[in-house]
Amino acid sequence: MARLSRLSTQKMQGDPKLRQIGAGAPSGMSTQDIVALFKSAANCAVYALPSIAKVQWEFAGPLTNADVSKTLGAQIDILGSGANPSGVDEVYSTPGLINGTFQTHVLACAVGFHLEAPAMGWTARGNAFSATALANAQAKPFSPDTWTVADATANTGAWGNGVPVPSAPAFLRYGTWANLAFWYMVRAYNLRWTYGSLINIMDEQLRDTAYMPNNAQEGSAGTSQQDILQWAREANDRYSGSLGTDLVFAIIDTLRIGSVGAGGTGVFAPSRDFEFVDTVYGGADLRSALACNTEFRTLNNPYILKPGVPPGLILEERNTDLGNKFRAQFDATDGFGGNVPADFTESAKFNSGAGTGFSERTIDGQTVTQKVVADRVEFKCGPALMSQEVKGWEISEALAAQIRDNANLAAQLCSECGCMVGWAN
């Protein structure tokens, strides 16, 4: 269940009096004074602009197919999502938005769309076991690098009587799925801002505005090794919890060195080689190829917007193919639907389960027929964050009323300050 945390105005935006145009000013200011005030506000450096609205979604891992369809569909509305969007683990919101609308008149000067993927990425091999079967086991069953159908035959195979056998070989992806999802996302969607029914502020490819904060020194990346035990535990907790699957991921702890006997039962040796995986640090980057891509994008024309109207700043899908690829990365079924986690073969022409037989020469000199399982089970883990933000200034009610009642003042704000008045139409 998502939880809405309203961050304090003091913490997020400083002293409220310092972020409101006209606060404490005498009523009936002259047109010249008001124009000068707005000109100063509109020309303020982006880094010094207060945040008048920000909503951040945090995903602790992949989502169910149903939640992906509801929350990450053809339109994505983060600012207007409310407290409990489907599949989002945490929602953080500033006080400037309540029920998806501004609470005061505002001068919107800049926008930001931020994507944060894990700083590291890796893929680890393993095996999928049934959690129900493991509940009856007294110890963790061994998890080999490879095995045959004969090995995994209940009660007569390598695992012995009453010991759970693996369902299929598996792999665990940390971080890489989120980075790849965001790569597809910024190319699949437009960032569109429509205010009310008549005003279209922008409609451009998300890639031009989306920004990824540093995961490492700018422009750098590195490789090393990472132990995966804690991440495997994190993935299993999520899959058995909010995703409701019966399968768990087991790290490889043994190597198959051959088989013996007429049944070709496997022989194994212990190994800790698979507890560590090669890891790339640094994450994706949206800036190096885009000279103008910065943390916040300044609007060509600041907009004066009234309260009670949804901001209308949404993502709108423009490329269905890339949109489906983006959703597949967030989807615990990898876009296939059905049971969690994703379980598939490399071709629709190959069935899941045992493949065709082949001959294996055993250690004790016999030739036996063996089969291996064709399908693979995919697990994903690692956090992913998305946020939208509008920067600018709140406008005092007295000053907003003065602008609303004076058409000449609204026209002068447009001509001299470039400010567009959102309720003028």
Per-residue pLDDT of 351-382, as tens digits, reads: 998 989 999 999 999 999 999 999 999 999 99
Q: In the prediction, which pLDDT does 219 show? A: 54
Please say whether the beta carbons of 413 and 34 come within 8 A: yes
Split into its structural domains, the chain has a count of 1
Angle formed at CA 223 by CA 218 and CA 224, multiple of 5 degrees: 135
Compute CA 81 distance to the chain's CA centroid, rounded to the nearest angstrom.
15
**pLDDT band at residue 2 using 50, 70 and 90 as cut-offs:** very low
Q: In the prediction, which pLDDT does 27 show? A: 57
Q: In the prediction, which pLDDT does 22 show? A: 61
Please state at what angle helix 397-404 crosses helix 31-42, rounded to 10 degrees: 110
The pTM (predicted TM-score) of the whole model is 0.87
Q: In the prediction, which pLDDT does 145 show? A: 97
Per-residue pLDDT of 124-159, as tens digits, reads: 999 999 999 998 887 899 999 999 999 999 888 999
Please state at what angle helix 176-188 crosses helix 320-330, rounded to 10 degrees: 160
Please say whether the beta carbons of 311 and 194 come within 8 A: no
Cα separation, 400 vs 30, in Å, equals 14
Confidence check: pLDDT of 174 > 70:
yes
Establish how many alpha carbons lie within 13 A of residue 386's alpha carbon, considering only the half-sphere containing its beta carbon.
24
| Residue numbers of the domain that contains 380 | 4-421
Q: In the prediction, which pLDDT does 19 show? A: 60
Confidence check: pLDDT of 7 > 80:
no
Per-residue pLDDT of 392-421, as tens digits, reads: 999 888 888 888 888 888 888 888 877 877
Per-residue pLDDT of 79-99, as tens digits, reads: 988 888 999 999 998 877 877
Spatial CA neighbour of 2 closest among 64, 98, 89: 89
**pLDDT band at residue 45 using 50, 70 and 90 as cut-offs:** confident
Per-residue pLDDT of 298-354, as tens digits, reads: 888 888 888 888 888 899 999 999 999 999 999 999 999 989 999 999 999 999 989
Could you give the dihedral angle defined by the CA atoms of residues 313, 316, 322 and 328, in that order, rounded to the nearest 10 degrees? Answer: 80
Please say whether the beta carbons of 160 and 298 come within 8 A: no
Residue 97 to residues 81, 119, 251, 309, 398, Cα–Cα distance (Å): 11, 30, 45, 11, 21
Residue 86 to residues 190, 312, 385, 417, Cα–Cα distance (Å): 22, 20, 15, 41
**pLDDT band at residue 286 using 50, 70 and 90 as cut-offs:** low
Burial of residue 136 (CB within 10 Å: 0-12, 13-18, 19+) is exposed
Q: In the prediction, which pLDDT does 292 show? A: 55
Share of the chain above pLDDT 70, in %: 87
